[in-house]
Structure 1
């Protein structure tokens, strides 16, 4: 069986980086436009022209730096904030003093907020508080005192940046929690899949060796006793095994990453074409098992068809194990427009009330995992009806649109 690793990346902050990149470009154009409109009012316009040349080149050249948290390094943040602070402190030297005291905009204007927001998205509210405090100090120095409009703007930037930084921290924590939950769910489903395979093969063989050994006697009886002990131990391990530790990794550039291993059917790669379920159920027919099927092919996705066939096999194993070798069984396949229904019925003694719950508690997972677990993973259902003395009927329903098996997220992006 071939394996394929599906990588699911989740990043709630990535849209923030894209928005920040757009914000920096727009605010750069806005600052240049303000300067161009008031060019004649500047006392030393050539100094302002030099600053805006640096601002434009820096903003456009560093767009890749604000594409992700990994690219936005501390060195870049420091240089970016330095340019913003320099522009603020240069304003009294190049602008008309009357405009400065009247509350005119600084050279970088609202472009400065982009630098503070980069700190917030990168490092959270603490980094945002540090950057906004430095900007506040520069604005107070530029105005020469705490003017009303300056204090208003400073507080607005300070509160907004800290709030955004806090939201980013909460989003990252939620992202990691979700990634761990998905990883645990994927690991649990993989353990259930392995438990089904073990039940369908190893446990069945051990149970058969135990029964035959008891009948033969002698050394075979001792071998059967040992097989029975191993069966009990293996059932206990399968039913109560530990879920592996989460393997969630954190990629600052792309967000949390969950890696889930999916299993392809036969490793040939030709696993997309629907298969005829009848061909997979035909081998079960025999002297004691009758198969009734439609005249036309019953097409299902390959993985779904294999799981349904395995569930039917598990149901027939239960018939042989609990109803006896001479018990008869009937398999009925119905091809409905939206789903496929497979019914397995036998003429055995039936299942006493409460026996299934008791068997599951003992680690006997034939019905819980090999039948119900398989259909649950396919998005279908498995209903068991049993009346003591009148046999047992297992009805399996699977939707035709089933595309993923053991996939905790459904249709996830594959990379």
Structure 2
């Protein structure tokens, strides 16, 4: 996969890298000045080294200032940085002379030539850093009549530095991008929860009241109540929809908001009422509670008159999910008899799931009063 340019804001993780490169430029320039002073007698034209050193100092100051601003870290500055160092390398042949270079005298650039390599690596990753190192290393090798082992070692070290720094810069860019996405997701989640609390405390309660008061009326009043119930279910499903980053595998996460799992059951025939604040459960617990709720709703809609209500309550250490329908209900002894005969598979499936979580299931029913299933699970 080709590496793309690494663009970072001024406050990004790369700020310390750019400061370190600026320090490296001045430190390496100091080292160059010291080496020139030690080897000045061996140069073929020692006086010519002065303008070269002045130019290198001026470029060090300018480059450190220019790279400090992210808007200037683009190809014109990168290419100019590389060309200046190449010019310093080529000037070494005229200032020091080939005999001095062949005897082991370092070039005027020496460690200073690592500045562009590091800058290219931070802006473009490993590949761009390797390209800059190979260009400068090739220039150093081509200008010499005789290549010595120290020169080859320097090229290899510069290449490794470009690859290593480019890799670190890429990791820093990825980390900052992920942190930014996480911060945006957290902000969006908080805003969604704030809006959900406001809607839950006002609009949803009014729509639910209209639906309950007009459910048994005829004519336009009954139609209005029905439409209010549909809009309540649609609005509740909208505000409880999980953010995109949580939709895949959310119930398998370490902790899940039960509202995001049960909110999907809301429909024109199923009314879901939940707290305005998050109801947090372990991922596998939320998954089992959602499955048990779905099974109870399926049974309620098939045998309970076509409408159902889900209520989620959180108390000290316990979460209760109640599923109620307005069907004909049944005598309590009939329910016990059916369980003894091995029927009511849905109820048994519900009880089995909740029992594995350390919870309990209560089924309340009576003729003409509908059926209510209560799922109780501990929060921990």
Residues 1:59 and 1:358: Cα distance change in structure 2 (over 3 Å): closer
Q: CA deviation at 1:169?
A: 2.2
Residue 108 (structure 2) pairs with residue 107 (structure 1):
yes
Q: Which of structures 1 and 2 has the bigger CA Rg?
A: 2
Work out whether residues 124 and 168 of structure 1, in 8 Å CA contact, stay in contact via their aligned partners in 2: yes
Residues 1:190 and 1:76: Cα distance change in structure 2 (over 3 Å): same
User: Larger deviation: 16-25 or 143-152?
Assistant: 143-152
Residue equivalent to 2:316: 383
Residue equivalent to 1:400: none
Correspondence list, 1:130-209, <5 A: 130-209=131-210
TM-score under structure 1 length normalisation:
0.57
Residue 363 (structure 2) pairs with residue 362 (structure 1):
no
Correspondence list, 1:218-257, <5 A: 218-240=219-241, 243=244
Residue 78 (structure 2) pairs with residue 77 (structure 1):
yes
CA RMSD of aligned residues (A): 3.2
Work out whether residues 199 and 365 of structure 1, in 8 Å CA contact, stay in contact via their aligned partners in 2: no
Work out whether residues 196 and 366 of structure 1, in 8 Å CA contact, stay in contact via their aligned partners in 2: no
Q: 1 CA distance for matches of 2:49 and 2:272?
A: 77
Q: 2 CA distance for matches of 1:179 and 1:128?
A: 26
Q: CA deviation at 1:360?
A: 5.0
Q: 2 CA distance for matches of 1:165 and 1:179?
A: 21
Partner SS, residue 192 of structure 1 = helix
The structure with higher relative contact order (CA 8 Å, sep 6+) is 1
Q: CA deviation at 1:216?
A: 6.0
Residues 1:235 and 1:356: Cα distance change in structure 2 (over 3 Å): closer
Partner SS, residue 105 of structure 1 = coil
Q: 1 CA distance for matches of 2:44 and 2:260?
A: 88
Residue equivalent to 2:30: 29
Q: CA deviation at 1:10?
A: 5.9
User: Larger deviation: 175-184 or 106-115?
Assistant: 175-184
Work out whether residues 212 and 225 of structure 2, in 8 Å CA contact, stay in contact via their aligned partners in 1: yes
Residue equivalent to 2:119: 118
Work out whether residues 215 and 221 of structure 1, in 8 Å CA contact, stay in contact via their aligned partners in 2: yes
Which protein has the bigger helix share? 2
Q: CA deviation at 1:33?
A: 2.0
Q: 2 CA distance for matches of 1:52 and 1:155?
A: 25
Residues 1:198 and 1:53: Cα distance change in structure 2 (over 3 Å): same
Q: CA deviation at 1:49?
A: 0.6
Partner SS, residue 106 of structure 2 = coil
User: Larger deviation: 92-101 or 17-26?
Assistant: 92-101
Q: 5+ unaligned residues in a row in structure 2: which ranges?
A: 1-8, 246-257, 281-313, 321-359, 365-380
Residue 68 (structure 2) pairs with residue 63 (structure 1):
no
Residue equivalent to 1:260: none
Work out whether residues 140 and 150 of structure 1, in 8 Å CA contact, stay in contact via their aligned partners in 2: yes
Residue equivalent to 1:19: 20
Work out whether residues 213 and 223 of structure 1, in 8 Å CA contact, stay in contact via their aligned partners in 2: yes
Residue equivalent to 1:348: none
Cα-to-partner distance string for 1:132-156 (whole Å, 9 max, x where unaligned): 1111112112332332111111111
Residues 1:168 and 1:222: Cα distance change in structure 2 (over 3 Å): same
Residue equivalent to 1:406: none
Residue 277 (structure 2) pairs with residue 371 (structure 1):
yes
Cα-to-partner distance string for 1:141-196 (whole Å, 9 max, x where unaligned): 23323321111111110121122113322332332233223322322332222222
Residues 1:177 and 1:133: Cα distance change in structure 2 (over 3 Å): same
